[in-house]
Amino acid sequence: MTTDTPTVVWLRDDLRLTDNPALSAAVQRAQPIIVLYLLDEVSPELRALGGASRWWLHNSLASLDAAITKLGGTLTLRRGAAREVIPALVAEAGAGAVYWNRRYGRSRDIDADLKSRLRRDAGDIQTNGTGIDVQSFHGSLLFEPWTVLNGQGEPYRVFTPFWRACLEHDVRAPLPAPAELPAPARLAGTSIRSDVLDDWALLPTRPDWADGLRENWTPGEAGAHERLETFVSDHLVDYHRRDEPAVPATSRLSPHLRFGELSPFQIWEQVQQHRGPGAGKNAAKFLSEVGWREFSWSILYNFPELHRKNYRPAFDNFPWQQPDAATLTAWQDGRTGIPLVDAGMRELWHSGYMHNRVRMVVASFLIKNLLVDWRVGEAWFWDTLVDADEANNPASWQWVAGSGADAAPYSRVFNPELQASKFDPDSEYIRRWVPEFGTANYPDPIVDLRESRQAALAAYEAVKAQPVNAQPAKEQAADPQ
């Protein structure tokens, strides 16, 4: 076997060895493999990671590096603009192929440019048998956005028919992990591994606020599989209680999915295998929640400015209020005097995570009781959540705001007191995160829930002047790359 033309496998949000189509294709090519992670904080199409995500990325890469080393390979780390770094690495390594798994946000423009450039510079192997083989693969979503369209050939804007259409498609089986990952013989004599992970300064230091993250999470592929196995074995049977924040009935797989330490195909297969007595309906419901992730990515694919713009243009007229610093800080710190809101925000700050039902409550409180633009809350979640996802995070905030696809009507305001009495009746969740609840040390509410709800509905009149279901502005979508 010649070692002259190694394969570069460019990992992004797919930090795993099992069920990795790009990596599997590289193994089949039977050439040495350069497994690359590129920290691109320069390209304008990419959104800079928040603090919690940076913590997770550091630990996930460290775990991946150890796994690759066991297979005889090396994790190559580079930093810079992808349009510059990838061609330079290809030239440096004498690579004969570059493979990656597809992305579905604005970043696919980068991938399209690189495909064109690499093929133009070296010639397309599929047409003349020489040059660079550049391929992308389907690995991060069960159903790629352009494969699920309505009868008019347009993307769905409502979840239920979208998911019904998805379920008409087959779901492939996961791919095995490689048995070995041979590195190029010339690797030791080049600067291919020129960056050290610690030099990227992804971890917080002054202060180090990550104790709660370390307490709650084990980033990496091994941790992802352990959590999946625990969920399907011990908690899927209780998934019908998923709305109760004090009950361990949810999967907590979202950060592992966000960084691709686990693929949706692996989740699909394992959940299907555990459709035992008492878990059948729970399994179907859980997989439909995975479907919401698919729906969010379909929205983002067709509306790439999802975290910046209202999906429904009518909401461009909404009279948002500029919060004063004290009010916004009270929400961020979990000191609003509204117990369920405060519990959720403190859980978020400590663990980098928040129960999904509570996420809706704290988002509704910010948007509708405080009349703060949903983008303010979305940005805070982006910085503090370990599962801050490019599609799910803005899609969920817009859902609560009423400005998104298949959104809850704006008139639906989550009353935190009613939500607490229904889903945390013994205040177990609240008391865990707000130990001063019920004492003189707990602050008074910063806003009257009834009066602020009425103010929100009055403000909504500005939106009602236009059709609430106004279609989003058309955006140019690049070809899938």
pLDDT for the residue numbered 461? 84
- 353 and 436 co-located in one domain: yes
- 284 and 358 co-located in one domain: no
> Of 302, 324, 349, which residue constitutes the final position of a domain?
302
Q: Looking at per-residue confidence, does 150 or 411 come out higher?
A: 150
Contact present, 282 and 240 (Cβ < 8 Å): yes
Phi, then psi, of 282 in degrees rounded to 5:
-65, -40
Strand partners, 137: 101
pLDDT for the residue numbered 4? 76
- 256 and 333 co-located in one domain: no
Amino acid at 458: A
By residue range, what is the domain housing residue 42? 1-139
Q: Count how many domains the chain has.
A: 3
Percentage with pLDDT > 70 across the chain:
91
pLDDT for the residue numbered 404? 95
Strand partners, 135: 99
d(C-alpha 399, C-alpha 401), whole Å: 5
- 254 and 319 co-located in one domain: no
Q: Is residue 245 part of a domain?
A: yes
Omega before 435 within 30 of 0, i.e. cis: no
pLDDT for the residue numbered 466? 62
- 346 and 435 co-located in one domain: yes
- 2 and 38 co-located in one domain: yes
Q: Looking at per-residue confidence, does 472 or 347 come out higher?
A: 347
Residue 44 has pLDDT above 80, yes or no: yes
Per-residue DSSP letters for 53-86?
Answer: HHHHHHHHHHHHHHHHHHTT--EEEEES-HHHHH
At 120, is the pLDDT very low, low, confident or very high (cuts 50, 70, 90)?
Answer: confident
Please state the separation of Cα 60 from the chain's center in Å. 14
- 4 and 98 co-located in one domain: yes
pLDDT in tens, 200-231: 999 999 899 999 999 999 999 999 999 999 99
Q: Is residue 144 part of a domain?
A: no
Q: Is residue 446 part of a domain?
A: yes
Mean pLDDT of 155-180: 97
> Of 79, 110, 139, which residue constitutes the final position of a domain?
139
- 296 and 319 co-located in one domain: no
Q: Is residue 420 part of a domain?
A: yes
Mean pLDDT of 321-339: 97
pLDDT in tens, 299-313: 999 999 999 999 999
In CATH, what number is assigned to the domain containing residue 114? 3.40.50.620
Residue 473 has pLDDT above 70, yes or no: no
Mean pLDDT of 281-286: 94
- 263 and 399 co-located in one domain: no
Q: Is residue 176 part of a domain?
A: no
Q: Which of 19-23, 123-127, 274-278 has the lowest mean pLDDT?
A: 123-127
- 268 and 323 co-located in one domain: no
Mean pLDDT of 104-118: 96
At 464, is the pLDDT very low, low, confident or very high (cuts 50, 70, 90)?
Answer: confident
Structure tokens at 116: 């064109």
Is this model's pTM higher than 0.85 or not? Answer: yes
pLDDT for the residue numbered 126? 45
